[in-house]
Structure 1
Amino acid sequence: MSGLRERKKTETRRRIQEHALRLFQAKGYEATTVEEIAAAAGVSHMTFFRYFPSKPAVVENDDYDPMIAELIRSRPAAEEPLTAIRRALVGALRAMPAAEQATILSRARLILGEPALRARQIESQRTTREIFAAAIADRDDPPPAFHRQVLAAAALSTLAVAIDEWAGGNGADDLADVVDRAFAALRWPART
């Protein structure tokens, strides 16, 4: 029974987010109200707030961080931390359905176009940085805590630049390839 309940929660959360993104694109972020999002998703505004604490959260929140952290942990323990993060991200993106990538593209465009959302992204990245830093702590010969934070921050900045580039190109390139190229740029000039 709890599996069905969780699936329904996930479906409701996704439906709210999809309708919010659609309305933001059609009407603009500022012009769209929580009540309109809730009505379009077929839920009450109170239900909206059970899933998202605020209107910006419907754009910012996703379930990727814990999944990526687990993928990082599952990489070979001897792999360098940035390599583990790179391969976890690229692998996850290659396995991601096209519809999910379309949602990422909509969210990225919205964040790039809304100064308030761009500013909030900094705080959101702090949480993700902590999660990534914790995930690389289990590596063979893990770096000290400060270094883990720096490596996680570098990885997130790299990912952010790649997503900005991808969204700027209207998602025409393969996102996994763009992310992979961005991580390759960290080793410029290329080493053989």
Structure 2
Amino acid sequence: MGRWERTHEALRQAAFELFPEHGYSATGTAQIARCAGVSEMTLFRHFPTKEALVVADSFDPLMADAVRLRPAEEPAMRALAEGIRSAWAQVGDEEAQALRERLRIIVQTPVLRGAIERGSEDTAIALAGALVDRGVSETQARVATAAVIAGLSTALLDWVRTDQTALDAALGSALDVLGGE
């Protein structure tokens, strides 16, 4: 892991130590940077906003690559659902727990309502690009991607609120519906 990645991770860890303790709204970016041992300017080089600390993730390239690898004859929605299913199968328990904590902060913080949708732009671009690479028109790719992101957002937020369902079961059920099963 290089210096950039170590700093990036230190900032996220600092944020997720401070947010539960002090609350998202009461935790300042200077406080997060100080806890991570860097300047506030460095924090903003890694995350353009405080909200980005909560919504940014590293799953987009993994999901897009998995969609690109789906069979060429597969319809767009099925390619998205099965590609995402394949990518999420690689997410370990530790990553799933970190995701749950991030989403729990979003659910518990009124100012973050809508954060998942705002933070999904990069995901939408990556997934739509993967579909276009497979020969789907741009408009159809954007429509399919928007549907999948909305469905997965709903499933993920329900997963966080219940604590009773495993991530793979929550996503699997949503992906079944989205893929036409």
Using structure 2 for the length normalisation, give the TM-score. Answer: 0.89
Q: Which residue of 1 aligns with 2:10?
A: 15
Change beyond 3 A, Cα 1:126–1:49: closer
Is 1:84–2:79 an aligned residue pair? yes
Q: Which residue of 2 aligns with 1:147?
A: 140
Query: Structure 1 stretch 71-80 or stretch 111-120: which is displaced more?
Result: 111-120
Q: Distance in 2 between matches of 1:127 and 1:175?
A: 22
Report how far residue 187 of structure 1 moved: 6.7
* Aligned-partner SS, 1:78: coil
Q: Deviations over 1:147-172 (max 9, x none)?
A: 221111111011101101111122x4
Q: Deviations over 1:129-184 (max 9, x none)?
A: 23211211233xx44322221111111011101101111122x4221221110122
Q: Distance in 1 between matches of 2:97 and 2:107?
A: 15
Task: Give the gaps of 5 or more residues in structure 1.
Answer: none
Number of positions where the alignment pairs a residue of Structure 1 with one of Structure 2: 181
Q: Distance in 1 between matches of 2:166 and 2:77?
A: 21
2:45 to 43, 50, 53: 50
2:174 to 179, 182, 185: 182
Q: Which residue of 2 aligns with 1:98?
A: 93
Q: Distance in 1 between matches of 2:107 and 2:42?
A: 28
**Would the aligned equivalents of 1:38 and 1:44 in 2 still touch at CA under 8 Å?**
yes
Q: Distance in 2 between matches of 1:75 and 1:11?
A: 33
Report how far residue 30 of structure 1 moved: 0.8
Report how far residue 79 of structure 1 moved: 1.9
Identity percentage of aligned residues: 30
Report how far residue 64 of structure 1 moved: 1.8
Query: Structure 1 stretch 126-135 or stretch 67-76: which is displaced more?
Result: 126-135
Of structures 1 and 2, the larger Rg is shown by 1
Q: Which residue of 1 aligns with 2:20?
A: 25
**Would the aligned equivalents of 1:18 and 1:103 in 2 still touch at CA under 8 Å?**
no
Query: After the TM superposition, which segments of 4 or more aligned residues of structure 1 sit over 4 Å from their partners?
Result: none
Change beyond 3 A, Cα 1:18–1:47: same
**Would the aligned equivalents of 2:77 and 2:179 in 1 still touch at CA under 8 Å?**
no
Is 1:117–2:109 an aligned residue pair? no
Using structure 1 for the length normalisation, give the TM-score. Answer: 0.84
Query: Structure 1 stretch 7-16 or stretch 150-159: which is displaced more?
Result: 7-16
What amino acid sits opposite 1:185 in the alignment? V
Q: CA RMSD in A?
A: 2.0
Report how far residue 29 of structure 1 moved: 0.5
* Aligned-partner SS, 1:76: coil
